[in-house]
Structure 1
Amino acid sequence: MGYHLAGFDVTGVDKDPQPHYPFTVIQADALEYIADHGHEYDLIHASWPCQHKARVTAWRGSRDDHPELITPGREAMESTGRPWVIENVPEAAWDGTMRADYMLCGTHFDLKVKRHRAFETSWGWDGALLPPCGRHAGLLAFEHKGERAYADAMGCTWMSAVAAREAIPPAYTRFIGDRFLAWRGAVTAP
């Protein structure tokens, strides 16, 4: 939704049906789709499943049951020659699997939710400064994942509470989309 709000036409790709996704969605393996069609897009965003990296495993099961897709995903996106973004949990940046060009939190966008996410971009950090992550006291945290209030606090009002467990607040992707457009404008300026 955030990319849409930044002015992009959005196409989603997922191996599972996504009946509530508000944009065009293609049911396919994302790695294969990127290899075959990634070059057709202005920007590729990948939120590879975070179960392998996340500290919270109570509802996810064992990390060993989930593949690490960040590395092969980055390779697939790089092969397209197109700009790209990877989003994942902070643990993926802390262990060196990905670079955190941006580490975003709901407090950066006045959301009533504590949800940290790392973003690595093909253009790297562009100098956009964010204030330090704000105070989290009184905010909904991931532990509230089963409550409708959590999805609403993230700005994902069209999602079920279950779907919101793996969602990114639209404010985050709007910020990244705006940063990409600013970077592209700077790169193509005469």
Structure 2
Amino acid sequence: MRALDLFCCAGGATKGLQRAGFHVTGVDIAQQPRYCGDAFYQADALTFPLDGFDFIWASPPCQKYTAAAPLQKKHHPDLIAPIRQRLMASGTPYVIENVPGAPLIDPFTLCGLTFGLNVKRHRLFEATFPVLTHPCPKGHPGDWLIVFGWSALRRSRGAGTGPKKDRGKTKGHSVPHAEACEAMGIDWMNRRELSESIPPAYSEFIGRAAASHIQEQRRLAA
């Protein structure tokens, strides 16, 4: 099956879709020398042809919606609405991924800790097919990492452990890039690319659900 990854960057979502059995074509407005997919086009996701694919993944830039840089939001366009319009018109099963706070329709959330990763990395997903999800670990316990910008921090929630005065507090300590990569399940990106990525475990999980949905639709149509 063929998948299209729009706004692909270096291919965090692409890698997971490949693991789910898709041949993946990536599209990004910028050249991506470390893109890991099967084919790549430097092009505008809002005009790239959508025909010929079984599944489409779209990750519009998140700066418009992120809480990390609220003063910069007005300088970034809202690309979710126009890309959704294109995807709906295509009739192809799709997913739109973005950060908490993004205006997605009936989204579900994935958490890295649910997948055994050492990052929380909450992301929202709007899908046109069923995806059976699992809740986050209660309280997000442990010393997991936060990956953002050019940095990665180790964050301790302190939930229910240690001196009572420290419980529930947070602390941050910088960690090496290699450790951040390991936490995300990614070994081919630089710091900037990593900060813009999702763990491949997310897209593999969703990609398997997409593949099952596509196969079932084909069976019913036969």
Which residue does the alignment assign to 2:94? 84
**Other structure's SS at 2:125 match:** strand
Structure 1 residue matching 2:201: 3-state secondary structure: helix
In the TM superposition, structure 1's runs of 4+ consecutive aligned residues that sit over 6 Å from their partners are: none
CA RMSD of superposed structures (Å): 1.8
Q: How does 1:6-17 map to 2 (within 5 A)?
A: 6-17=20-31
Q: Percent identity?
A: 37
The residue type equivalent to 1:9 in the other structure is H
Change (3 A) 1:15 1:127: closer
Between the two proteins, the alignment pairs up a number of residues equal to 179
Alpha-carbon offset, residue 26 of structure 1: 0.3
- CA radius of gyration, larger in: 2
Deviation track 1:121-159 (CA, whole Å, cap 9, x = no partner) reads 122xx2613133452430001358524122321011111
1:114–1:142 CA contact under 8 A, matched in 2: no
TM-score normalized by structure 2?
0.75
Tell me if 1:110 matches 2:100. Answer: no
CA contact (8 A) 1:145 1:162 kept: yes
Structure with the higher strand share, 1 or 2 = 2
The aligned runs of 1:1-190 (5 Å cut-off) are 1-23=15-37, 24-33=39-48, 37-57=49-69, 62-92=72-102, 97-123=103-129, 126=130, 128-134=132-138, 135-142=140-147, 145-147=150-152, 148=177, 149-190=179-220
**5+ long unaligned stretches in structure 1:** none
Deviation at 1:40, TM superposition (A): 1.4
- Tell me, in whole angstroms, the C-alpha distance in 1 between the residues paired with 2:150 and 2:109: 21
The structure with the greater share of residues assigned to helix is 1
Q: TM-score, normalised by structure 1?
A: 0.87
Change (3 A) 1:144 1:113: farther
